[in-house]
Amino acid sequence: MRRSSIIMLIAAVALGLIAVLFARTFLGNAGDAGGGRSAAAVRTVPTVVAAADINFGEKITPDKVKVVDWPANTLPQGSFQRLEELTMGAGRTAMRPIVANEILTEKSLATGANRLSTAQLLGPQMRAISVPLNEVSGVAGLIFPGDRVDVFMTRQPDEAMPYSELLAQGARVLAVGVDMNVGKEKPELVKSATIEVTPLQAQKIALAVTVGQLSMALRHFTDESRVRLQTAQVMDLNDGTITRLVRKPNSGGSAPSGPSGPPAGGNSGQAPIGPGVVVMRGTSNGMTSSFESVIGK
């Protein structure tokens, strides 16, 4: 009886070992087969990538690029499959900083190695025009290539009050000064900026430069909204509250400028002399609705 128990125990252990070996072998073969099917399902194609960091304006040379196998279904549009496409003929130049192992595309490169031109950055049917800047109108040098800006014109004509107009919204900055590098990191005060606009906007800006002063307002690069603005004048600077302005004393017998009230003492033939107060009551939208002039005694 004791011997039979020992035999049964040995047989059970042997069967357990056989089952473990069988399961390991079967699962391993199944995994290898599945991995082979997965590998076969992913198709790769030769793709040109940067072998090292490429700076803005550098010519693409054989030592700066290499070919790797890249999954075909994740390949970006405009990529290259052969080194000769980049290094032969006129050659190509980097239009922006390119990091190592990044896929090179047509949009990141300019054809021809002689010089870089802003024209290659323009979209179809768009124009490039330069706008004069100073420290204030250029947002203290914080405008960089690739930013989006709104363009305003401020004018002070002789026949009317000063006013401001919106000329363009969301215009893309192509260059600041002579720098087109979108990888530019340090702010710099420049005398001009080149922006991308429509032909009509270019016409308006060209005229505005001759009659007024242009300013730029920096906006978020993802903001593509279009805000409808009216012509802003001095009277529109009020936020809706009542404003009192002290009139300058009248001298030389000339009539005071601006709105006037009834003359003092009932004398309608002579303009009042002395200081006064102009009361402006604004509406909720900031537009002046009424004027009141109180002449000081």
Q: Are residues 173 and 204 in the same domain?
A: yes
Spatial CA neighbour of 150 closest among 128, 131, 163: 131
Phi-psi region of 170 (alpha: psi -120 to 50; beta: other; left: phi over 0): left
What is the token pair recorded at 57? 């304006």
Q: Are residues 131 and 200 in the same domain?
A: yes
CA distances from 134 to 84, 140, 141, 163, 245 (A): 45, 8, 8, 20, 32
Q: What is the Cα–Cα distance from 11 to 5, expressed in whole angstroms?
A: 10
* Per-residue confidence (pLDDT) for residue 57, from 0 to 100: 76
| Burial call 112-125: b when 16+ CB within 10 Å, e when fewer | ebeebeeeebeeee
In 10 A of CB 263, how many CB atoms?
13
pLDDT digits over 22-55, tens only? 777 766 665 555 555 555 578 888 999 998 888 8
Q: Are residues 111 and 131 in the same domain?
A: no
Q: Are residues 136 and 225 in the same domain?
A: yes
Q: Are residues 106 and 16 in the same domain?
A: no
Number of domains in the chain: 4
Q: Are residues 32 and 61 in the same domain?
A: no
* Per-residue confidence (pLDDT) for residue 265, from 0 to 100: 44
The pairing of strands 92-94 and 65-71 is unpaired
**Positions in the chain short of pLDDT 70:** 1-3, 26-40, 112-117, 243, 250-297
* Per-residue confidence (pLDDT) for residue 31, from 0 to 100: 57
| Burial call 211-229: b when 16+ CB within 10 Å, e when fewer | ebbbbbebbeeeeeeeeee
CA distances from 67 to 70, 111, 206, 229, 272 (A): 9, 20, 47, 52, 87
Q: Are residues 221 and 130 in the same domain?
A: yes
Are 113 and 133 spatial neighbours (Cβ–Cβ below 8 Å)? no
Q: Are residues 242 and 178 in the same domain?
A: no
* Per-residue confidence (pLDDT) for residue 264, from 0 to 100: 45
The pairing of strands 65-71 and 213-219 is unpaired
Q: Are residues 182 and 112 in the same domain?
A: no
Q: What is the Cα–Cα distance from 167 to 165, expressed in whole angstroms?
A: 6
Read off the amino acid at residue 157.
P
Q: Are residues 178 and 96 in the same domain?
A: no
Q: Are residues 150 and 224 in the same domain?
A: yes
Q: What is the Cα–Cα distance from 109 to 157, expressed in whole angstroms?
A: 46
Please give the span between the terminal C-alpha atoms of the chain, in angstroms, as a whole number. Answer: 135
* Per-residue confidence (pLDDT) for residue 268, from 0 to 100: 46
Domain that holds residue 1: 1-41
* Per-residue confidence (pLDDT) for residue 286, from 0 to 100: 44
Q: Are residues 272 and 224 in the same domain?
A: no
